[in-house]
Structure 1
Amino acid sequence: MNDLRKHFVVEPGSKVDLSRIDPGDTSRIGTKEEARKRLEDAIEIDGLQDRLFAEGQRALLIVLQGMDTSGKDGTIRAVFRATGPVGVVVTAFNRPTPEELAHDFLWRVHKACPRRGTIGIFNRSQYEDVLIGRVRKLAPAHVIEHRYNQINAFEDMIASSTKVLKFMLHISKDEQAERLKARLEDPRKHWKFDPGDLEDRGLWSDYMHAYEQVLSRCSTELAPWYVIPSDKKWARNAAIASIVRRTLEEMNPRYPNPDWDPEEFRVV
């Protein structure tokens, strides 16, 4: 199958206009059956992650960002469903604690970066500080402005041992409305509903502009952004699984050679 990275990547230095990217586009994925075959990449990811863990020299960091209901949790369940739990660590970044607020904004993020040999998944990330931080004016404008370069420098620093993939789950406002309604109508999903989501929904255009700034200013050769149309969950999951697999194959982790001769030992 073709390499989807070139179709969804934000080229470094390019200017992003999200209104020109259809959140419901499945043309690059094809039919549901074709998507199902791509999602089989999730099984291959397990073998590649096993090699990465055994090699113990590099890590993979996956950043998931998107508006509420865009499918960050669903992506993790679908794409990494077959991956061994020892080598995958998921970190969800919620409202900063008092201790975290007492440090620089990247402090809690750096602590959560995956150790060598593992895959780290950020459900939200350092980009909250230039998304909600910008929209809600949680910091002065000049502080927000500096953070783009600080984030780029941070990702450049960890790139010596960590490959970074960043996915923006691009959902439409109409699709978000349907998913929020589903949470309200199903008692089993009430726990997922947060009244604050409606406040953010009222700031939709502000958030889209904030995302465009992030995508345009923070997609680099070492840490590229991918904009993944996410109105169709099956297409979203297939695209991300394919990109993760291709990236791991390109990293080509190797099982280490033992410093002893297997022929010298016998199990009796």
Structure 2
Amino acid sequence: MEPNRVQFLENKTLLVTGASGFLSKVFVERVLSLQPNVKKLYLLVRASDNKSAEQRLHNEVFEKDLFKVLRKNIGDESLNALVSEKVVPVPGDVTLNNMGVSDSNLLQDMMQETDIVVHAAATTRFDERYDVALRINTFGALNVLNFAKKSVKAQLLLHVSTAYVCGERSGLIQEIPFAMGDTLHGKNKVDINTEMQLVEQRLKQLVEQGCSEEETKHAMRDLGLKRAKHFGLPNTYVFTKVMGEMFLGHYRENMPIVVIRPAMITSTFSDPFPGWIEGVKDTFNI
């Protein structure tokens, strides 16, 4: 991070969605390493309760090798104290209203204290079930935006999208926002509510046909890919991220939003050390 960016985070309270994901982990490590005077980090993960959320963050975030440099620099005891002081585990689900935060006191604290919302929660499977991808990547973005708009102090919503919303084009491609309904080929307009209705209708048909869970999964994957291709996009992941951007642009009102569109995320380049990687990273599918 550049020095002025680091300074900006001093005494700020951040909400980070998808906190157990690769990108969020790196972000949290960088914040704690470079700006330990951050006021608070609300880290949202899918969990049934506070204890489960805390355990997930411990096992899937802070115990990872990613934090070994920080741990070495300040020691185990100091790192544990820093995490205990700054980090608030939040059990939730971005597919739900209020991001699924059921603890009313915690939700109220978040709405009163959050300065910056970092929305990184997503499903990144290219051929994800269409119903799943729509709920997480599209309607999840809207739910996070609605939370940010209700937050008293919120200065910024930082939304992580993908470079591949540009579609399969060549040459210089300008970074322009999507208006509601826009498509790359300029033909059929996208109606997000219609897309959800198609999903619900197809799921109902599959139930009536007595399809197995495996058959339903494949049918939902096929539907997502078919709809993406219909609108000139390569896969379900990209299509649902495009629609998520549409929601943000259309409903943001006065909320400042920054959309970043990274290309393929593989490993750390230099900090905290080169080459830290997690999960299956396959660039051949791009």
Pair in the same fold by TM > 0.5: no
TM range (shorter): 0.3 to 0.5
TM-score (norm 1): 0.33
TM-score (norm 2): 0.31
